[in-house]
Amino acid sequence: MTKADLVDKVTALGDLTRRDGEIIVDTLFESVIGALKADDKVEIRGFGSFRTRQRNSRIGRNPKTGERVDVPAKRVPFFKPSKELRDSVNPNGAKSPAIVSTNPVDPHHPPAM
């Protein structure tokens, strides 16, 4: 879904013009961004929460040259979905296909070839 799709959904909900829908969506995004810039947490019940996390400085590598590069400490946005959102995405408590295995293999005793 794109921002334009979201604007279309908002305008379809009521007697709104496309411009009104854009203002609503932009205001929502600007409010979340402003709160994160102020190091506040945004919590939307039933959806999830947005917050920032601190990343420490580290030494990285330029992938092109292999040269060492100092990466400064920074804050990054982080989204944590609510339990309701996780449950709606995974109905009936379904597990990820990578986790669920119909034929588990013991790593210490692999099957005979």
CATH (domain of 54): 4.10.520.10
**Quick check: is 99 in a domain?**
no
**Quick check: is 96 in a domain?**
no
Question: Which phi and psi angles does 22 have, rounded to 5°?
Answer: -65, -40
| Ramachandran area for residue 66 (φ above 0: left; ψ -120 to 50: alpha; else beta) | left
User: What domain range includes position 8?
Assistant: 3-89
**Quick check: is 109 in a domain?**
no
**Quick check: is 30 in a domain?**
yes
Tell me the pTM: 0.69
| Model pLDDT for residues 53-92, shown as the tens digit of each residue | 999 999 999 999 999 999 999 999 999 999 999 999 988 8
State how many domains the chain has.
1
Q: For residues 26 and 100, what is the distance between their CA atoms, to the nearest angstrom?
A: 41
Q: At 113, is the pLDDT very low, low, confident or very high (cuts 50, 70, 90)?
A: low
**Quick check: is 47 in a domain?**
yes
**Quick check: is 34 in a domain?**
yes
